[in-house]
Structure 1
Amino acid sequence: MRTGVRPFILVMALVLGCNGSRDQLLADLQSPRPEVRALAVKKLAGQGNADDLVLFTRAAKDLAAIVRAEAAVALGESQDPRVVDLLGELLEDPVEDVQARAAMALAKVQNDKAKAYLTLQYGRRSRATRQVIVQALKSANVNGAMAEVVAAEAKAQWDRNLLALTEGELPERVGAAEELGKSGRPDAVTRLMPLVRDSQVILAAAAVRGLGDAGDKRAVGEIALLLNESFPELRESAIIALTKLQDPAVAPRLQAVAMEKSAVSPLAIDAILAFPRTPQTDAALCAVMMDGAPAEALAAGRAMRSRGGCPVDPIGERLARPATAASGLQAVVGLGPTAQPLLGKVTPWLNQPDASLRLLAVEAVEAMGDASVVPALQKLYEQEAKGLEAMRADWVTQPLPERYGPGFDPASEASPVKSLTQQAGGEDKVAKHAQLLERVKALNAARAREAGRAVVQPRVPTELHDDVDPERLRPLATLLRALGTLKAPGALELLKGYTQDASAPLRVAALTGLARLGPEGVELAKAGLLEPERDVQKAVAQVLAEAGDAGQAALVEMMPKMGSEKLLALDALTRGSGVPVSASAALQAVVSEGGAEAALAASLLGRMGAKDAVPTLIKALDESNSVARRDVLLALGAIGDAQAAEAVARDLYHDLPEVRAAAASALRKIGTPAQAESLDALKGDYFRTVRESAGAALTKDGTAAEGAR
């Protein structure tokens, strides 16, 4: 009898224990703590009780994301078709983890409705969820899962944009025209071509921009005709589109726009510079150099300087006549050393009474870099300095005070200002205000010291008023810069004396001249990067970037001290000829800080091929909202290290097309066969740039390219 009682008691204990445990879980669903409710949902799901489906449905509406995530898993485990709509709602949850759980749960239901939810939401979700959706479809045995959802997304985008173009209001039609062009489909070109002559200029301009993005050169002729239009917006859009279409045959038309000295002339010269080099583009640049506005002429001349120069005989003919000498000198400034045969025709203009021609001549001999003209420039400097001596003399001989005199400090007890304040009943306001300002200054200084930045103090004026207009100082500034560029004897000491001048143009000239005097001059010039005036900082940064290894090393050295102005240094290095190897650590620090500066820093690291920066760049991809994401991906591609392949490949799922295109381009250079399926799927992407980048990353047989070794 005892042997029969024991099993009965054991069974009853287990039943009561289980019931007790379940009762506790049901009670935990009402707990105020989200983690307790989530754990209760998870344990109840593990029991597999079909009656608990209503509990999971209620938990899917919980305010806590952790509970909704567990509810999604539990609903999926039930494999009940009735939960598909609820899981579809959870797939739109604001929290990505809930979206991911819902996607995997839908895959377990395995019916057409669940698959439709997954396919639809792929085009609406961010990178992490898009990747999980593809994994979910694969787990549901969907062949070509990524290719299918990419194609569905492309179709939805095309249908939406086409509907907006044909039936939408004007703003919707404008946006749709540009988006249709980005698809690069022949049908898009066919639909946009008639719109370039639309009576609504804003729509016509959008259609032109769309045709530029489409990349179909059939549109070049029609777009080029718009350069004769009178609407600035339409002409600007036409130039932008022609720049993207890269057809050198339109160079003569763009040349005419570049020479008309209008608001769109700078865009026209940029377009010609972006074209592949041909005799047509060279001829257009030479023509603009001769007759364009100063800014466009200088850009064209510098471009031709790197291409070997322009014919010098026409320039010499202009230098021979006073009426045309200005355009000839302007051309020499652009061509620089390639115009050396014209030195004999330029130097006579250094002694002309016309101040504007004399200034152009100084700039011309400086650009040619011939030191034989130094004596003439020194003489001109002496004349110019003497002529300004009386005008620049201090009419207040004593230095201006930098502190309040006795009894005039608003914060002091004896101040008349404070006495008036006390009479008004606010005796402590001035003192408190001064103390607050001092505390703010002290805190800012402490933060700057901790970050290794220099505290830039505002320049205290030495005069109440300057009698000399800045434009009147331009000849002197040009001469100072020229003496430094040509390494004139005594230039170092001369320019050093102007680095603290009250006039910003003269300081800029002195600092830029010093930067061209070798390492010793660079050491003095780099202090200009901490000037309070942004224009001075920008000019010094640019000249240091062009001053070879010493100047570039100085830029990198000063970057941490520049605070938010380090963007100027990075931009100068980007435009310059090179980056020192020692810059890697400083650039990695900028990438780690994030922000707009990180994009330029990443680009420079890629240009350097800095393999030591790969871990830093990979870590930067963890920042989901980084504005530098595209640049980081391209930098990793340029470096070509295979260890970055997995991190880069995740961005093939990114919701931004420019990021997907950058990831595909990077993988083409890195090379990894593991990503061939994803790259092949992107060949069906809506955006032309993504399709082309993905196709270029694959070899002819459909496998990923080997990339750099």
Structure 2
Amino acid sequence: GEEEIKDILKARELIQSRDFKGAAQRIRAALQTEPDNVEALCLKEILSVRDKRDPSAWRSALERCLNEIKPLEKEIKDLEAKEEPDEDDLKRLERVVRSRNYAMGFLARSFADLIEKGADWAKPLMESSPDLLIKAMLISGKCYDEKVRDKVGAVIERMGQSAVKPLISELKADDPLVRAQAVYYLGRLRVKEAVGPIAELTKPGSEPYEVMYQIPIALELIGGEATVAPLRNVLKSQYAQPKIYAANLLARIGAKEAIPDLVDLLADTNSYVVTVAKRALISFGSDSVKPLLEILKTRAADVPLPPSSTVTEDREKAARNSVIGNAMDILASIGDGEAISQITSFLSDDDLRSSARSALIKFGSASTPAMVEALKSPDSDVRVAAAEVLKSTLDKRSANALIEALSDRDKEVAAAAAAALGAMKVRKAIPQLTQLLSDVDERIRSNVLDALNTIGYYDPDMVKAVLRIAEDKNERESIRISALTVLKTIKPSEVSENLIAIMMAEDETPDVRRAAVAALG
């Protein structure tokens, strides 16, 4: 790698410590070693005018610095464009970027410090050569030093209206970092007339991340209805962060015309983008319902998918199902009852059943009539899902239908109904639940015991059936422990001797004996 000239390194230190006379001596020495050194030439120019309130002198210094920096900028661009840079290329790039940043950073600091003490002298320069000053400031703004960027911002804000045209012109600059800064400062200056030129940058695929990142930030600062269209374009970009910012902003300003674009974002591969799009659509309330219902109706067939989601049929199907699931969740969050019947229809879909169930649970008691009807479905998976929804919504209007479902021919349906009745603490279901304690299916016996424990109500016939399970050494241990837990909850006095016998039996497992002790209290 290349070593930097020691005199330049020392000059930087002296400038940092504000020993400008010593720095000038070092710069002269550096130029004797390397007469064409760009950083040294620029620092020489800036040191010659840094304390002069002379517009003409500063104009000349700016022109010379910009002229000197051009080959450095080109070299940086060429090095950055290399597809496979070697170690020497990377070291060279690091060096030239550092040189540019030190030189132009010093320029921005020097000019900003001088006008902070009084800017009247600089008005002729700002008014007669705004293009020159803006170009210099935007190159300086590429410096990594935040203090330098603050100085650049202070200069541009001091320029005010005279900065507008040059900044708009720089939106067409070759360097994306310059374009990004131009966007940013047009936003800070709240330039309404810049919305159109900025909108030109939002065409899909036209700008790199640095520029797209700044666009929604600037448009927020500018404000007004004209910003909606370019913000909608930002939603179509490939970058997550700008899309997130734009989606949040469109929701905040209530731009209903953006709803179709936000719906399309439900197919985004970035989960954060999808989350923000969902939140935005929820904020629009009933205005979002129609396009979301259309997604359910068409199974998201018309939603554009990212290329990566269409590589195979399976991936495309999964992507569209994800959009449908998100649409169901949003509709449930909005609470639009019109969607319940359509969402219920997805309980028969193996891929979307879970999403439909979650959405119907979110509807709460509003979904109860549809779930009671779904308990009659010929599809056992639908009946199970309906019982699971009712278990979560806890609407006792469904109690009779669930009690009837206890006798369902499908054991999984009966088990789900038992769990739902337990969650609702439906006491009138105890006789039917007790009957199921003799069922051969372990899932049913387990769910029934959990339900009886949750209900926690004494019934003599139920106690006998539960005790029978607790004493049955041929029963699965976990189910026996569940039975003992029921007895612990209800505390029937007539089973004390039985519990003592279990506790004292040497052939019982430690866990069963501990459960018996707990049941005795």
Cα 1:157–1:358 change in 2 (3 A) is closer
Q: Tell whether 2:170 aligns with 1:86.
A: yes
1:58 aligned to which of 118, 136, 154:
136
2:187 aligned to which of 94, 103, 107:
103
Task: Give the TM-score normalised by the residue count of structure 1.
Answer: 0.39
Contact conserved, 1:366 with 1:486, CA < 8 A, in 2?
yes
Deviation at 1:233, TM superposition (A): 0.6
Give the secondary structure class of the aligned counterpart of 2:402: helix
Structure 2 counterpart of 1:338, which letter?
G
Where does residue 277 of structure 1 map in the other structure? 395
Superposed counterparts of 1:353-432, under 5 Å: 353-356=473-476, 358-370=480-492, 373-383=495-505, 386-387=506-507
Distance 2:154 2:403 in 1: 65
Q: How many residues align?
A: 361
Distance 1:372 1:128 in 2: 76
Structure 2 counterpart of 1:56, which letter?
I
Give the secondary structure class of the aligned counterpart of 1:18: coil
Contact conserved, 2:343 with 2:360, CA < 8 A, in 1?
yes
Where does residue 109 of structure 2 map in the other structure? 39
Give the secondary structure class of the aligned counterpart of 2:517: helix
Give the secondary structure class of the aligned counterpart of 1:387: coil
Where does residue 479 of structure 1 map in the other structure? 513
Where does residue 315 of structure 1 map in the other structure? 433
Contact conserved, 2:399 with 2:421, CA < 8 A, in 1?
no
Contact conserved, 1:73 with 1:101, CA < 8 A, in 2?
no
Contact conserved, 2:131 with 2:166, CA < 8 A, in 1?
no
Structure 1 counterpart of 2:431, which letter?
D
Cα 1:292–1:72 change in 2 (3 A) is same
Please give the per-residue CA displacement for 1:651-672, whole angstroms capped at 9, x wherever unaligned.
xxxxxxxxxxxxxxxxxxxxxx
Please give the per-residue CA displacement for 1:385-441, whole angstroms capped at 9, x wherever unaligned.
x337xxxxxxxxxxxxxxxxxxxxxxxxxxxxxxxxxxxxxxxxxxxxxxxxxxxxx
Cα 1:324–1:208 change in 2 (3 A) is closer
Distance 1:225 1:31 in 2: 62
Where does residue 626 of structure 1 map in the other structure? none
Superposed counterparts of 1:83-482, under 5 Å: 83-86=167-170, 101-105=185-189, 107-108=190-191, 113=196, 134=220, 136-137=222-223, 150=252, 155-156=257-258, 158-159=260-261, 161=263, 185-189=288-292, 191-196=294-299, 202=318, 203=320, 206-207=323-324, 209-215=326-332, 216-229=336-349, 232-246=350-364, 247-252=367-372, 255=375, 269-275=387-393, 277-280=395-398, 283-284=401-402, 287=405, 292=412, 296=416, 299-305=419-425, 309-318=427-436, 327=444, 330-336=447-453, 338-341=456-459, 342-356=462-476, 358-370=480-492, 373-383=495-505, 386-387=506-507, 476-482=510-516
Give the secondary structure class of the aligned counterpart of 1:355: coil
Distance 2:516 2:212 in 1: 55
Deviation at 1:220, TM superposition (A): 2.5
Cα 1:125–1:311 change in 2 (3 A) is farther
Deviation at 1:228, TM superposition (A): 3.2
Deviation at 1:60, TM superposition (A): 0.9
Contact conserved, 1:269 with 1:296, CA < 8 A, in 2?
yes
Cα 1:125–1:35 change in 2 (3 A) is closer
Superposed counterparts of 1:620-639, under 5 Å: none
Structure 1 counterpart of 2:166, which letter?
R
Deviation at 1:218, TM superposition (A): 2.5
Deviation at 1:104, TM superposition (A): 1.5
Where does residue 571 of structure 1 map in the other structure? none
Distance 1:295 1:93 in 2: 63
Distance 2:114 2:149 in 1: 14
Gaps of 5+ in 1: 1-15, 141-145, 389-474, 488-709
Please give the per-residue CA displacement for 1:505-547, whole angstroms capped at 9, x wherever unaligned.
xxxxxxxxxxxxxxxxxxxxxxxxxxxxxxxxxxxxxxxxxxx
Please give the per-residue CA displacement for 1:153-200, whole angstroms capped at 9, x wherever unaligned.
6534624756x99xx9999xxx89x96976652440453243149798
Where does residue 455 of structure 1 map in the other structure? none
Where does residue 635 of structure 1 map in the other structure? none
Higher relative contact order (CA 8 A, sep 6+): 1
Structure 1 counterpart of 2:168, which letter?
V
Cα 1:80–1:296 change in 2 (3 A) is same
Structure 1 counterpart of 2:429, which letter?
P
Distance 1:100 1:169 in 2: 26
Gaps of 5+ in 2: 1-50, 67-99, 227-247, 302-312
Distance 2:344 2:447 in 1: 29
Distance 1:380 1:387 in 2: 9
Contact conserved, 2:347 with 2:353, CA < 8 A, in 1?
yes
Structure 2 counterpart of 1:206, which letter?
V
Deviation at 1:279, TM superposition (A): 0.9
Distance 1:70 1:315 in 2: 77
Where does residue 18 of structure 1 map in the other structure? 53
Deviation at 1:210, TM superposition (A): 1.4
Structure 2 counterpart of 1:158, which letter?
P
Structure 2 counterpart of 1:83, which letter?
L
Contact conserved, 2:138 with 2:152, CA < 8 A, in 1?
yes
Distance 1:149 1:235 in 2: 30
Cα 1:117–1:378 change in 2 (3 A) is farther
Please give the per-residue CA displacement for 1:360-401, whole angstroms capped at 9, x wherever unaligned.
532432343446534422321332xx337xxxxxxxxxxxxx
Deviation at 1:329, TM superposition (A): 7.1
- RMSD (Å) for aligned C-alpha atoms: 5.7
Deviation at 1:248, TM superposition (A): 1.1
Task: Give the TM-score normalised by the residue count of structure 2.
Answer: 0.51
Structure 2 counterpart of 1:235, which letter?
R
Cα 1:81–1:97 change in 2 (3 A) is closer
Larger gyration radius, structure 1 or structure 2? 2
Give the secondary structure class of the aligned counterpart of 2:371: helix
Please give the per-residue CA displacement for 1:11-47, whole angstroms capped at 9, x wherever unaligned.
xxxxx95349849985999782776343234257641
